[in-house]
Structure formats: C-alpha cells, structure tokens
C-alpha cells in the first residue's frame, strides 16, 4: 500500500495584505493584542516593508500601552517615508508617551505649519459642522439636563477607547496613589461637606427672623409635620407620583453599600429615613433613625444628632404617639441647648408646647369618636328612620365599647363557651305578630295572576 503523501498547506492569495486588513479590523474592535499578532504576520510575509502595516502596528501598540515598542516602530516608519503625515503623527504620539516631550513638540509644530499651508482657513463646511455639533449639545442639555454631561463623557470614551484600554491592578493602584498625592485632603474636604449639609437642615428652623407669631406657629407645624391647611393636598387628590419607590430603594441600597466614612453614613441614614417617612414606612424609618443617631454619637457631631432627633420627632407625630413625641422633642431641646444656639432653643421649646397642645386633641378633650360617627350616620338617615336608628344607637350603648363593633348589630352572636343556647336574636324588640294579616297575604298570593312573558311557553300546562 502506498503511503499517503503529506498534504501541503494551501497558499493564500496576497496573504500579507489579508493579515494586514485583519489587523486593522481587530484594532477597530478593540482586540489590540490579537491585532498586533496579525500585523507581525503581515510584516513577516511581506516581500518589502509595507508602511500601512507598520503604521497600523504602531497604532495598535500605542493603544495597548506598549509605548517603547511603538517608539522603535515609529522610527522605522519615519525611515521609510519621512514625509508621510501618519508616520509623523505616530512618531509624535510615541515620543510623547515615553516622555520625550521636546522632540514630540517639534514634530507637532512641523505638522501644524504644514497643515496651515495645506488646509483652508475659514472653511464654511467645518464651521457648519461645529455649529451643528454645538446645536446638538444645546438640544441634548435642554431635554436631558445633567445627563447631557454623561452623554458627552461616554461619547468621548467611545471616540478614544485607549482611555480605558489595558486596565490592570498595578496601574489602578498607581493611579490611586497619584490621586492621593495630588489631593491628600480629600477625606477632610468631604467631612467638611457633610457638616455643611447638616447646617443646611438646621438653618431652616430659624423662626426668629419671622415677625408675626401666627407665621411662626405655621412654620413650626410645617417642620413638625402637623397638618395646618384645611383644604386637601395634592397627594390627597390622587396626585401623579414623581418618585419610583423601588428605584429609590435600590439607589439607597447601593449608596449605603459603597459608603465607608462615618459622616457619610450618617448623612445617608438621615436621607433614607426622610424617604421612608414620605412613603409611610415608619417602622423602618424609626430603625434607620436609631442607627444614624448611634453612628452620629460615635462621630461626636451634635448637628447630625439634632437632625436625626428631629426626624424621630416627626415619626412619632405622624403616628400620633403623644408621649413618645414629647420625649423626642425634649431630647432635641437638650441637644439644641448643648449647641447653645438661641433660635434652635426657641424652636424646640415651641415644639414641646405644640406637641402638648396640638397632638391628640381628641384624647385630651375626652372626645368620643364613636358617638360622633353615630351622629353623622343619624343625620344621613331619612326622617322616617331617624327614630328607629336613634333607638338602635341607645340600645348599643349598653354594650362595652371594645365589643360594640365586634359583632354586626341585629345578628345573633355565637358564644362557643356558653353552654345554654341564646334565644335572643336581635337587640331590637321583635314586632307583634298579626295572624289575620298573615292569612290575607297567603290568600292573595294564591290568586295573584301569573306574569305573562311574550314567547314563553309553560309545558306543564299541557301534561
């Protein structure tokens, strides 16, 4: 049997050019290491040095942060064609990246002089493109707001992918070390910012700048969350919500996970507590207020302690807890006296008085809510039923208040523990029976003419 000859690899037509184009394509996709390999293959297979392959190879090396290899290759490009503008551009960039700023500047100046002689001045097409781009930015800022800045940032990254290419742990640590050297007071500045935020909340509680006593009371109630207006608010009229609670909860979860500084965490707990009060999650709001106050005590910054005590006061007022609200107001007053600020002491003294005077007026004045509700129902009844309903309410007053609405009036309550069956089925006296009236009704029912429906056939008549 004849041995099979080993088949030779098929020859690719213009293989060097194919590898060069693959290298350009891979470089445009961001696969710079693979693109460098294909450029090397193209250079090895080329019969003569191809300037396009070398320029693409040099650009891929620069994008892959291999600056010294790119500098050597750019010198080779300049040797082949010193007048080629892309070769000079690669040479300028490579020299700049390795720190040869003087030589790089010389090449850049030469290019600028040549560009001025080559390109037109006051080109209307270029001016039109610049004006169109500026108009697009104005429209984006008008419709997107601050997101337009993020849009420009992302477009810049897309147009210059070398900014985020070849990221590794060592270079990241070097950048962080450089940032700390350039800005060593970063944490102190952030702490000062968090303290300024605390004062922003406190400054709004200055009632001494108001002349009218009625206005002071109104502002105080607004700060404490006590309802002042008699007309319904927007939220009472099914106003369209502008905040997505789920997305806001995700945002706070992410921010709390990323926060590490104590004052930053106190600020985030404060903001999260405010949001939970707005969505009526008072149990969670109380929990995070306690966590924020404990952390604020560790930082020994009384301004944040006062702000969180203020939120605790609002929580208790919202839930109509008079004693707890008074305790929170007294605690906030003690913190204000510790800060020794006159307008804060005045504010929380008024808060203590407002809690004692305004909160839970019904309980203080022995207000009977059940009796008021019964009177409203009685007023809605027609005149013929008012006597019976009033008699029903008076009969129900005998039942204790805690059991009054536990059973439906007029029904027999079932008592499983009571051995003897109850014969009384209603709280109203049963009407007197009239046998003659019942006999007349039964006789009339027998002689009532049947209701004729068109098209209906009763087949029982024909049986």
Query: Considering the domain boundaries, does residue 137 fall inside one?
Result: no
Least confident of 89-93, 333-337, 348-352: 89-93
218 with 357, same domain? yes
Residues with Cβ < 8 Å from 282, sequence gap 6 or more? 276, 315, 318, 319
Is pLDDT larger for residue 309 or for residue 96? 309
Q: Count of CB atoms within 10 A of residue 399's CB?
A: 14
Distance CA 299, CA 302 (A): 9
CATH (domain of 261): 1.25.40
Distance CA 344, CA 223 (A): 13
pLDDT at 1: 40
Query: Considering the domain boundaries, does residue 373 fall inside one?
Result: no
pLDDT digits (tens, 9 = 90+) for 385-398: 888 888 888 777 76
pLDDT at 137: 79
Distance CA 87, CA 76 (A): 9
* Domain edge (last residue) among 344, 364, 384: 364
210 with 357, same domain? yes
232 with 100, same domain? no
Distance CA 39, CA 55 (A): 10
Query: Considering the domain boundaries, does residue 428 fall inside one?
Result: no
* Domain edge (last residue) among 364, 380, 402: 364
Distance CA 58, CA 27 (A): 11
349 with 220, same domain? yes
Q: For residue 434, name the pLDDT band (cuts at 50, 70, 90).
A: confident
210 with 339, same domain? yes
Work out the angle between the directed axes of helices 85-97 and 51-63 (0-180°, nearest 10).
30
Query: Considering the domain boundaries, does residue 414 fall inside one?
Result: no
pLDDT digits (tens, 9 = 90+) for 305-319: 999 999 999 999 888
92 with 206, same domain? no
Residues with Cβ < 8 Å from 329, sequence gap 6 or more? 313, 348, 351, 352, 355
Query: Considering the domain boundaries, does residue 230 fall inside one?
Result: yes
73 with 215, same domain? no
215 with 359, same domain? yes
Q: Count of CB atoms within 10 A of residue 395's CB?
A: 14
Query: Considering the domain boundaries, does residue 69 fall inside one?
Result: yes
Question: Which of left, alpha, beta for 409 (phi over 0: left; psi -120 to 50: alpha)?
Answer: beta
212 with 357, same domain? yes
CATH (domain of 97): 1.25.40.10
Provide the residue range defining the domain that includes 268.
Answer: 200-364
Residues with Cβ < 8 Å from 430, sequence gap 6 or more? none
Residue 190's closest CA among 248, 254, 266, 288? 266
pLDDT at 189: 79
107 with 209, same domain? no
pLDDT digits (tens, 9 = 90+) for 151-188: 777 676 656 655 555 555 566 566 556 656 656 677 78
Residue 428's closest CA among 455, 459, 458, 395? 395
pLDDT at 347: 92
Least confident of 64-68, 232-236, 252-256, 363-367: 363-367
Residue identified by tokens 């693109």 is 35
Distance CA 339, CA 303 (A): 8
235 with 340, same domain? yes
Please tell me the total number of residues recorded for the chain in this structure: 463
Query: Considering the domain boundaries, does residue 21 fall inside one?
Result: yes
Q: For residue 258, name the pLDDT band (cuts at 50, 70, 90).
A: confident
The total domain count for the chain is 2
| Helix and strand counts by DSSP (H, E) for the chain | 22, 0
Is pLDDT larger for residue 16 or for residue 302? 302
Query: Considering the domain boundaries, does residue 134 fall inside one?
Result: no
* Domain edge (last residue) among 308, 335, 364: 364
Residues with Cβ < 8 Å from 285, sequence gap 6 or more? 273, 276, 277, 311, 315
Distance CA 181, CA 414 (A): 81
Q: Count of CB atoms within 10 A of residue 280's CB?
A: 10
pTM greater than the 0.75 cutoff = no
> Contact 427/410 with Cβ under 8 angstroms?
yes
Percent of the chain's residues with pLDDT above 90: 12
Q: What is the dihedral of CA 386, 392, 393, 399, to 10 degrees?
A: 180
């Amino acid at each position: 049997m004849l041995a099979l000859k080993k088949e030779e690899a098929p020859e690719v037509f213009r293989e060097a050019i194919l590898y060069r184009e693959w290298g350009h394509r891979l470089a445009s996709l961001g696969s710079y290491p693979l693109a460098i390999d294909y450029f090397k293959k193209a250079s090895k297979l080329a019969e003569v040095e191809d300037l396009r392959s070398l320029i693409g190879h040099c650009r891929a090396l620069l994008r892959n942060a291999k600056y010294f290899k790119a500098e050597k290759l750019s010198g080779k490009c300049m040797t082949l064609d010193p007048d080629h503008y892309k070769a000079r551009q690669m040479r300028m960039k490579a020299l700049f990246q390795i720190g040869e700023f003087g030589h790089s500047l010389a090449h850049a100046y030469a290019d600028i002089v040549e560009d001025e002689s080559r390109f037109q001045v006051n080109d209307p097409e270029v001016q039109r493109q610049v004006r169109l781009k500026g108009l697009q930015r104005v429209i984006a800022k008008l419709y997107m707001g601050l997101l337009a800045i993020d849009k420009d940032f992302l477009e810049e990254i897309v147009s210059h992918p070398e900014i985020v290419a070849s990221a590794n742990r060592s270079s990241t640590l070097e950048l962080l070390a450089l940032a700390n050297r350039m800005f060593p007071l970063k944490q102190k500045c952030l702490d000062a910012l968090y303290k300024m935020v605390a004062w922003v909340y406190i400054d709004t509680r200055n009632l001494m700048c108001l002349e009218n006593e009625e206005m002071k009371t109104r502002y105080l109630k607004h700060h404490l969350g006590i309802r002042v207006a008699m007309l319904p608010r927007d939220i009472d009229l099914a106003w369209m919500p502008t905040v997505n609670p789920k997305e806001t909860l995700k945002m706070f979860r992410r921010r709390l996970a990323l926060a590490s500084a104590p004052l930053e965490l106190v600020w985030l707990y404060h903001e999260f507590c405010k949001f939970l009060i707005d969505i009526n999650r008072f149990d969670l709001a109380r929990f995070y207020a306690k966590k924020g106050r404990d952390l604020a005590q560790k930082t020994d910054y009384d301004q944040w302690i006062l702000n969180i005590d203020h939120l605790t006061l609002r929580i208790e007022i919202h839930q109509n807890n008079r004693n707890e609200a008074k305790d929170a107001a007294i605690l906030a007053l003690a913190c204000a006296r510790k800060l020794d600020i006159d307008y804060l002491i005045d504010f929380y003294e008024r808060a203590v008085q407002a809690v004692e005077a305004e909160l839970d007026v019904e309980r203080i004045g022995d207000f009977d809510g059940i009796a008021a509700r019964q009177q409203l129902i009685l007023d809605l009844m027609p005149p013929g039923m008012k006597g019976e309903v009033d008699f029903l309410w008076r009969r129900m007053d005998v039942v204790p208040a805690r059991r009054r609405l536990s059973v439906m009036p007029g029904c027999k309550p079932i008592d499983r523990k009571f051995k003897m069956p109850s014969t009384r089925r209603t709280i109203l006296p049963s009407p007197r029976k009239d046998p003659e009236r019942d006999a007349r009704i039964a006789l009339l029912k027998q002689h009532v003419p049947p209701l004729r429906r068109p098209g209906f056939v009763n087949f029982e008549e024909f049986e």
